[in-house]
Amino acid sequence: MTRSITQAELRNGSAGVMDALEAGEDFIITRNGRPVGELRPVSARRDIPTAELKQRFARLSSTGTVAQRQAEIDAAFGEDRLDD
């Protein structure tokens, strides 16, 4: 669940906000009662060996609709979207 906090709460309680981010919590930051930004935890990334990447790419088809190809890519590599 996303929690709203004020700019002052972020400034004065940054250590607590950082702890909550590490625990997976999301924040909406407000200024004068209006949302101005979001804070989200960074997704853990893992290194994938080159040979495994080549195998995953080799299994992808070159046909189908854009939506079908996107679903296939998401299944092979996982979803990592910036527009969520």
Distance of CA 24 to the CA centre of its chain: 11
Strand order in the sheet with 2-6: 2-6, 26-31, 34-39
Domain with CATH 3.40.1620 in the chain: 2-39
Q: Determine the Cα–Cα distance for residues 30 and 9; give it in Å rounded to an integer.
A: 10
Residues 3-31 pLDDT 10s = 999 999 999 999 999 999 999 899 999 99
Q: What integer pLDDT is reported at residue 8 of this predicted model?
A: 96
Q: Determine the Cα–Cα distance for residues 65 and 71; give it in Å rounded to an integer.
A: 10
Among 36, 19, 16, 20, smallest CA distance to 28 is for 36
CATH C-level class of 2-39: alpha beta
Name the pTM for this structure: 0.52
DSSP letters along 28-51, please?
EEEETTEEEEEE-PPPP-----HH
> Tokens standing for 64?
């189908």
